[in-house]
Homo-oligomer: A and B are copies of this chain.
Amino acid sequence: MSTPDITGTGAGADAPAPVPVGQTHLLDLDEVGGRVERTELPGGLRVLTETMPGVLSATLGIWVGVGSRDEGPAVAGSSHFLEHLLFKGTTTRSALEIATAMDAVGGEMNAFTAKEHTCYYANVLSSDLPLAVTLLSDLVTEACNTAADLESERTVVLEEIAMRDDEPADSVHDLFAETLFGDTPLGRSVLGTVESIEGLTRDDVDGWYRSRYTVPSIVVTAAGRVDHQQVLDLVTAAFGDRLAGDTRPAPLRTGEGAVHKPARSAGLIARRTEQTHLLLGAPAMGRLDERRYAAAVLDAAVGGGMSSRLFQEIREKRGLVYSVGSSLSHYAGTGSFSVYAGCSKKRVPEVLRLIRAELDGVAAEGITPEEVARSRGQLKGGMVLGLEDTGSRMSRLGKSELSYGEYLPVREVLARLDAVDEDQVRAVAAEVFDRETCLAVVGPYRESDLDRL
């Protein structure tokens, strides 16, 4: 339930020292993981690879440093819309040709858009890595974004919004962001709104593509049975003329300043659901804040597993919910802590009372040394277990580069978790849990009911 983003981390406070273009740096060589190498190609393209012993596959990712946080309200959803459009065809390949090439080798190709980046990826047998590099590079650099494809895909995106609206456990997350961050880019859904999607023109979307999908904003990562030099050769061939000049990579994203108070105290989506789905939370630190390790330990102890306080008090002892848990989200410069629960309307008052009592207790007294030790163990074990597939390794490389500006070896992250003590956790709890909270609710309520919750 808890997904603190501690896997790809670095202090990032200082800008990385300039790296000679074309030179490859060995960043890590370890049993937990393999050989991690990084090269900056001309034009500002960054390539990171990690070899993993024992696997037959590779996962390739092409990351672009653009997401919904970069959008104004009128074009909300442009980054995600583009992510769809890119699969519709390039100057040399139709949508069917793209899909057929990948399906024929049993590969999995897909993409996702987040608030601060977009990622196109493919998981293939390592012998099919050349195909994956060729296809994904073509999508990212040669998309046509025709008006006809835009019209057809507009309906698909609207259907995706409708699907999200039908899943209250999903909707409540978008509502929470809106309640916490208000009418700001971080407060808006990655999907955009029905209105913004209906209003997007071909010029909007293609213009977004041309201005944002530039080589200095792109990072290529690959993990699994890969060879760094082979990936460099493939990428160099695929990007061709774009790799020229002495352009530097785009700078690390910095946040516009921390948020200390929710925009609103509560938000509601009134739906005739069986369960009420709720998120209660507050602003938290951004991802470059060193206290994030202590925050991750706190989050794990409060709502990160079956032994956590919330799970034990609310589900195990009282049987009030099926799901309850906490999570941390980190962005550049800010973040959030939240508790999710889903339960029947009649149980909502008691569940909310118990959640608040637990957060208040921890804000006042912190957690026990045993909880600190257990949570550190949980995070460390979970991190190592979670990095056993090529996709999560590929993803860690991409986030390290785009979000942290630095690659931290796994053993270094484990050491930082080990260094977290009771006092650090207490300090984070006292600050974050003492803040004004906001509540997002999807369920059978009216606006006037919110004050009583």
Contacts and interface: CB of A to CB of B under 8 A. Distances in A.
B57 A388 contact: yes
Output the residue of A154, A156, A381 with the most chain B CB within 10 A. A381
A378 B166 contact: no
Interface string A340-357: 001110000000000000
Nearest to A105: B381
Contact of A378 (B32, B106, B163, B343): B106
A214 interface: no
A452 interface: no
A390 interface: yes
A207 to B, nearest CB: 22
A384 B125 contact: yes
A104 B389 CA distance: 22
A431 interface: no
A191 B96 CA distance: 40
A75 interface: no
Given A55-B388, A96-B307, A153-B319, A106 B380 contact: yes
A345 to B, nearest CB: 10
A442 to B, nearest CB: 9
A434 interface: no
A156 B321 contact: yes
A342 B105 contact: no
A28 interface: no
B56 A154 contact: no
Interface stretch (A138-146, A235-243, A268-276): A268-276
A52 B389 CA distance: 13
A368 to B, nearest CB: 12
A263 interface: no
A155 B227 CA distance: 53
Contacts of A390: 388
B106 A383 contact: yes
A82 to B, nearest CB: 16
A384 B127 CA distance: 13
A12 interface: no
A263 to B, nearest CB: 26
A227 to B, nearest CB: 16
B275 A162 contact: yes
A108 B317 CA distance: 21
A264 interface: no
A99 B307 contact: yes
A351 to B, nearest CB: 11
11 contacts: A31-B56, A56-B388, A88-B316, A96-B312, A99-B307, A99-B316, A103-B304, A106-B379, A124-B381, A159-B321, A159-B344
